[in-house]
A and B are shown apart, each in its own frame.
Chain A
Amino acid sequence: MTTTVRPGTPQRPSAVRLGLHRATIELKGFFRERDAVAFTFAMPAVILALLGSIFDGVYPGSDVTSAQYLAPSMIAAGVASTTFINLGTGIAADRDDGTLRRLRGAPMPPSAYFIGKILMALVVTVGETVLLLGIAVLAFDLSLPTDPVRWLTFGWVFLLGATACALTGIAASSLAGSARSAGAVMNLPYLVLAFISGVFYTPVGQLPEPLLTVGSLFPLKWMAQGFRSVFLPDSILPQEVVPSWEPGRIALVLAAWCIGGMVLCLTTFRWRGRRSR
């Protein structure tokens, strides 16, 4: 037979290469599902447009309108939605429709799957962020900072926040028993957190103490605070919980969630659905 292979040759492709491959496949799959694309992008944008036009007024002691205050927080909520919800429901669907089973049957290093998912979520999140920034600038006169230091802050808050939410979303996908329940399972914590993190309810300093305490345990509150520190003047600080942007604490909490999310992923991830084990 000519099919005999010398041991060790040829090599299976590396996890990174396969991860990049998966990312293109994931992106194709995502963008071809038109209605899902439309609603994923539209949800935070519509909420920003609605809440931004409902509330008006300027915060005392500053020239920040309530719409401008809302915008950076909505960007944080947008990041959470395109990472946490997108990955949580997407992976639950993969588990349900046999995608995971088929991939497990192939010689795919598990990390390739996660690299693909996270790269896909990152691309979608960047798109969402640009969309929300566009709405904030065009409709609500948010001015973009010129100071590169602020953009640097934007960069690390974005990366840490998106990673923390992505990993938590991957871990949370295992909570959903099926693809059909996943939407509800993922949206409940998301909506609750959006309220108690001072995104839908502004300004954050006005939240009742117990809710604030709970909200402060999760990454959304800190990501929103980080983005406000990028786009809002310091004159708005009296509306915050403490009159400081607390960059050190933001970095600490988001990094802790990245690590915790990673541990959760590694310990709770299920390749198989509850129906077939």
Chain B
Amino acid sequence: MTETPAIRVRGLRRTYGDTVAVAGLDLDVGAGEVVALLGPNGAGKTTTIEILEGHRHRDAGAVNVLGHDPAHADLDWRARIGIVTQDSGDLGELTVHESVSHFAHYYPRPHDPEQVIELVGLTAKATARVRTLSGGQRRRLDVALGIVGRPRLLFLDEPTTGFDPQARRRFWDLIRQLAGAGGCTILLSTHYLQEAEALADRVAVIVGGRIVADATPAALVGRATARTVVRWSDGRQETDDPAALIATLTTRYGGAVPELTVSRPSLEDVYLDLIGDGS
């Protein structure tokens, strides 16, 4: 749809007193792309995301989000952005439905509030006060409020914290739907490697306020290049072509290969390796 990147960050820096939270970060997110930010606690994910949202100021660096500097963005820019922050404690006395339909009013072309509530799976709780929601349900409301304005760019800071496995799958479907048919650009942070793998076109790993890796999930685990390990009852072999090896083994055993496993380094292995086990 658009050629220019949705997000372009160069040399971003932010310090809090003596703490350097973001230390010269570069990041590009293309229009329509889904990018996951991974990184240990305190790596600078929230700081980075909130600077891109215009919620925090930066000390240095060039930032362009949907053609504007978020530090000086106007309301029309805000109308094109959706935000799900890492934590929230507001709206307590309102109901789910009141909250979503209130926020729908701010936007020029909002989604139907009922539909959004349905999408995040809160229909049964639509008339419940927000303060009575469980942690995961509250989080789903945050997601509903983030998408009700039909954003072109959506920021999600650890959106699925507290989701049960079913809700997480459902959320993944929602994100795929927004990114696919909706054409929405999405930048999300997460601690779930499986989630990054399932959703993201690209994974950027932040450590100490810097990007240490930025690639597709597949490239990151080196699936294209790394050798696969094939193990069976009385053997183990590394290979570039596991299918051929298994075919050979099958003929040798004249059927099922006993205790056959085929393993590749997981994203988790690569990630833990990247951030260095000590950090």
Instruction: Name A's B-contacting residues (CB within 8 A).
Output: 1, 3-5, 9-13, 18, 21, 25, 28-29, 32-33, 94, 97-99, 101-102, 104-109, 272, 276-277
- Evaluate contact between A277 and B75: CB separation under 8 angstroms: no
- Evaluate contact between B102 and A99: CB separation under 8 angstroms: no
- Evaluate contact between A277 and B89: CB separation under 8 angstroms: no
CA distance A275 to B255 in the complex (A): 65
Residue of B nearest to A32 (CB): B93
CA distance A29 to B1 in the complex (A): 42
Contacts known (A28-B93, A106-B103, A106-B106); A101 close to B76, Cβ less than 8 A: no
Contacts known (A18-B105, A21-B105); A101 close to B182, Cβ less than 8 A: no
CB distance from B147 to the nearest CB of A (A): 12
- Evaluate contact between A106 and B149: CB separation under 8 angstroms: yes
B220 at the interface (CB under 8 A from A): no
Which one of B81, B108, B145 lies within 8 Å of A102 (CB-CB)? B145
Which one of B55, B79, B145 lies within 8 Å of A12 (CB-CB)? B79
Residue of B nearest to A96 (CB): B89
B136 at the interface (CB under 8 A from A): no
- Evaluate contact between A12 and B107: CB separation under 8 angstroms: yes
Contacts known (A98-B87, A277-B56); A107 close to B79, Cβ less than 8 A: yes
Contacts known (A28-B98, A97-B89); A107 close to B55, Cβ less than 8 A: no
Residue of A nearest to B91 (CB): A99
B88 at the interface (CB under 8 A from A): yes
Residue of B nearest to A100 (CB): B90
A contact residues around B89 at 8 Å (CB): 97-98
Taking CB atoms and an 8 Å cut-off, the chain B residues in 190-226 that contact chain A are none
- Evaluate contact between A109 and B75: CB separation under 8 angstroms: yes
CB distance from A207 to the nearest CB of B (A): 41
A contact residues around B33 at 8 Å (CB): none
Contacts known (A94-B90, A105-B81); A3 close to B75, Cβ less than 8 A: no
- Evaluate contact between A105 and B55: CB separation under 8 angstroms: yes
- Evaluate contact between B108 and A1: CB separation under 8 angstroms: no
Contacts known (A102-B88, A106-B106); A276 close to B55, Cβ less than 8 A: yes
- Evaluate contact between A13 and B88: CB separation under 8 angstroms: no
B12 at the interface (CB under 8 A from A): no
- Evaluate contact between A102 and B75: CB separation under 8 angstroms: no
User: Which A-B residue pairs are the 6 nearest by beta carbons?
Assistant: A107-B79, A99-B90, A32-B93, A107-B78, A107-B75, A105-B83
B contact residues around A99 at 8 Å (CB): 90-91
Contacts known (A12-B75, A13-B106, A98-B85); A3 close to B93, Cβ less than 8 A: no
B27 at the interface (CB under 8 A from A): no
B57 at the interface (CB under 8 A from A): yes
CB distance from A192 to the nearest CB of B (A): 32
Not counting A29-B92, A33-B93, A98-B85, a sample of 9 additional A-B residue pairs whose C-beta atoms are within 8 angstroms of each other reads A12-B76, A18-B105, A98-B88, A102-B85, A104-B54, A105-B78, A107-B149, A109-B75, A272-B56
> Could you pull out 24 A-B pairs where Cβ atoms are within 8 angstroms?
A3-B150, A3-B182, A12-B106, A12-B107, A13-B105, A13-B106, A18-B105, A18-B106, A21-B102, A28-B93, A28-B98, A29-B92, A32-B93, A98-B88, A102-B85, A102-B90, A102-B145, A105-B55, A106-B106, A107-B79, A108-B75, A272-B56, A276-B50, A276-B56
CB distance from B59 to the nearest CB of A (A): 12
Which one of B1, B55, B93, B106 lies within 8 Å of A101 (CB-CB)? B55
B158 at the interface (CB under 8 A from A): no
CA distance A268 to B182 in the complex (A): 41
CA distance A4 to B182 in the complex (A): 11
Contacts known (A106-B78, A107-B79); A29 close to B94, Cβ less than 8 A: yes
B236 at the interface (CB under 8 A from A): no
Residue of B nearest to A12 (CB): B108
CA distance A32 to B93 in the complex (A): 6
